[in-house]
Structure 1
Amino acid sequence: MIEMTNTFLIIDDDVNVRKMLTYIIMKNNLGKVVEELNSGEQAPEEIMFYQPDIVLIDFLLPQKDGIEIIRSCRTLGYKGKFIMISQVDNDTMIAKAYENGIVFFIHKPINIIEAINVIKGVCENLRLERSVAMIKDAVFHIEQAKQTNVEVNWRQEIEHIFTAIGIIVESGCKDLTKLIEKIITIKKKSPASIYQLQDIYRQIAEEESLQNNGSIHARTIEQRIRRTILKALENIAELGNDDYYNCKFIEYSNVLFDFKQVKQEIKHINNPREDRGKINVKKFVEGIISKLNF
């Protein structure tokens, strides 16, 4: 159950959007809205003042856009979560949002089910992060052997998730696991570290080349991983197409993928002439990591 401890700040120049999001948050007992803003002019200052757990922020705002506000807040040391509200379809702009730390999107016009699922997912991530932080504080001085057991546990959790979304037998599953493990190692050293996927692809390719006495290219690793994630998108979309309230669909569709792309994949399933949904490797990986205790 999601605890009523989270605070929200909403930034959108459309009063109806703000009212709808406030209603969704209050109606579903997701937390408390501490402030609403209709422009980005004073947004960083207000965010730093209120220190909300979650900021729902429009991509395009008067005075300052959403990306600029997020960058300012991160520079000032804000550690909360951002959910981007957007009607933007430009893939380059959306990719730019992911690069600046956005993992969750709510698309306009707002779909209530999507909004509830996204906000609940972020609330659940916060709850897990707090739980993990408490556990880490409690076991700070445990022996190295116990730490090894914890690592085994999150590796088992990865396998459990891959099994749940139907990719455990895919050929790129091992590469995807290595990618996640290397990013976890980076995050253990510094949670705020910025990493480049291409650098990690090259590391995996070099290691595999040494093990097999051959030459594996980073592009090959990337293609395997992307095919595996695309298969996961297909599997999740199949679940949603059969039952929109399927528990696995609800749990993973927003966390691992852009929900708009999940809906596009469902369209493709029903009409192969429709374009397939698109994947974002970083969002998928960060979504997996958000569900692990490490």
Structure 2
Amino acid sequence: MSKDIKILIVEDDENLRFLVVHRLKNEGYQVLEEGDGLAAVQTISTEKPDIVLLDWMLPGKEGSEVCEEVRKQGFEGLIIMMTAKAQDVDKIDAYQFGASDYVTKPFNMDVLVAMLESKVKFLLHADRSEIHRFGNMEHHPNIHTLFRDGKKIELTILENRILLYFLRNPNQVISREDLMLEVWGYNSDVNTRTLDMHIVRLRKKIEANADNPQLLQTVRGVGYRFNAG
């Protein structure tokens, strides 16, 4: 796979930035780096990287503001937020400022590299076409969108991940633990109530009647099952 991909790392912790830059260069990526939000906005507009790894907490301008600003300027590359707390992911969704995905710190370098590999495949068009159809709906995971009878329904990053996991594992009972690991990551400090809250929100988007779910059903004492029909 050609690695003609430019990645910008925006991280104010010099040690972490050095480690990430070093590893990604070894993986064959073109790598740029910045240590604060103001410089990041400038570099993104001049260099137009394919992927931005953007820290949530930054001097100069916070990650969310950087993200929002470059999106307004028309930047269409992938922006992956790096956040120290899994709870911040909820805020990432709440801001709706245009992040493509996120990774929680401390992350394992292999996990980060694997995530980037899958993003690069998407950038190179290999799996842009992943579409799941169920009932009167179509899920396009790469653009975080659900179409119901052709009408567009936006999904948050987390709803997108949850739905995709169910669609890839249809008719299987999925434990809450497995789902949380898949959606929030291996060092997650999220509790089951947070997960359940996202399930409730997702049901409102996919069920004909969210109070009597036919697709995304609770399996008492275990977790959930997605009825693919």
Q: Same fold (TM over 0.5)?
A: yes
* Partner residue, 2:174: 234
Alpha-carbon separation, structure 1, partners of 2:139 and 2:51: 31
8 Å Cα contact 1:53-1:81 kept in structure 2 = yes
1:52-71 equivalent positions in 2, closer than 5 A = 52-71=49-68
The residue identity in structure 2 corresponding to 1:182 is F
Greater helix content: 1
Per-residue CA deviation, residues 141-165 of structure 1 (Å, 9 max, x unaligned), is xxxxxxxxxxxxx69x526xxxxxx
**Aligned counterpart in structure 2 of residue 112 of structure 1, from 104, 109, 112:** 109
Between structure 1 and structure 2, the one with the greater Rg is: 1
Structure 1 residue 276: Cα displacement: 7.4
Identity fraction in percent: 21
Structural RMSD (CA): 4.3
Is 1:259 matched with 2:185?
A: yes
8 Å Cα contact 1:105-1:258 kept in structure 2 = no
- Going from structure 1 to structure 2, the CA distance change for 1:183 and 1:175 (only over 3 Å counts) comes to closer
Structure 1 residue 275: Cα displacement: 3.7
* Partner residue, 2:92: 94
8 Å Cα contact 1:106-1:114 kept in structure 2 = no
Is 1:158 matched with 2:75?
A: no
- Going from structure 1 to structure 2, the CA distance change for 1:15 and 1:111 (only over 3 Å counts) comes to same
The residue identity in structure 1 corresponding to 2:75 is Y
**Aligned counterpart in structure 2 of residue 45 of structure 1, from 27, 42, 52:** 42
Structure 1 residue 43: Cα displacement: 1.8
8 Å Cα contact 1:71-1:100 kept in structure 2 = yes
Is 1:72 matched with 2:69?
A: yes
SS at match of 1:43: helix
Structure 1 residue 175: Cα displacement: 6.0
8 Å Cα contact 1:264-1:277 kept in structure 2 = no
- Going from structure 1 to structure 2, the CA distance change for 1:25 and 1:184 (only over 3 Å counts) comes to farther
Greater strand content: 2
8 Å Cα contact 1:39-1:63 kept in structure 2 = yes
Of structures 1 and 2, the one with the larger relative CO (CA 8 A, separation 6+) is: 1
Alpha-carbon separation, structure 2, partners of 1:115 and 1:5: 18
The residue identity in structure 1 corresponding to 2:17 is R
Alpha-carbon separation, structure 2, partners of 1:90 and 1:175: 33
Alpha-carbon separation, structure 2, partners of 1:227 and 1:117: 17
8 Å Cα contact 1:104-1:258 kept in structure 2 = no
Structure 1 residue 12: Cα displacement: 0.6
* Partner residue, 2:160: none
For these two proteins, the number of residue pairs brought into alignment is: 187
- Going from structure 1 to structure 2, the CA distance change for 1:43 and 1:238 (only over 3 Å counts) comes to closer
- Going from structure 1 to structure 2, the CA distance change for 1:59 and 1:227 (only over 3 Å counts) comes to closer
The residue identity in structure 2 corresponding to 1:108 is K
8 Å Cα contact 1:105-1:118 kept in structure 2 = no
Is 1:278 matched with 2:195?
A: yes
Per-residue CA deviation, residues 120-151 of structure 1 (Å, 9 max, x unaligned), is 1211111117x97xxxxxxxxxxxxxxxxxxx
TM-score, normalising length from structure 1?
A: 0.51
SS at match of 1:63: coil
Structure 1 residue 70: Cα displacement: 0.8
Alpha-carbon separation, structure 2, partners of 1:3 and 1:112: 21
* Partner residue, 2:9: 10
Alpha-carbon separation, structure 1, partners of 2:46 and 2:7: 13
* Partner residue, 1:174: 135
Give unpaired runs (5+ residues) of structure 1: 133-153, 160-172, 188-194, 198-224, 242-252, 266-273, 286-294
Alpha-carbon separation, structure 2, partners of 1:86 and 1:51: 23
Alpha-carbon separation, structure 2, partners of 1:11 and 1:54: 11
Structure 1 residue 102: Cα displacement: 1.9
Alpha-carbon separation, structure 2, partners of 1:118 and 1:26: 16
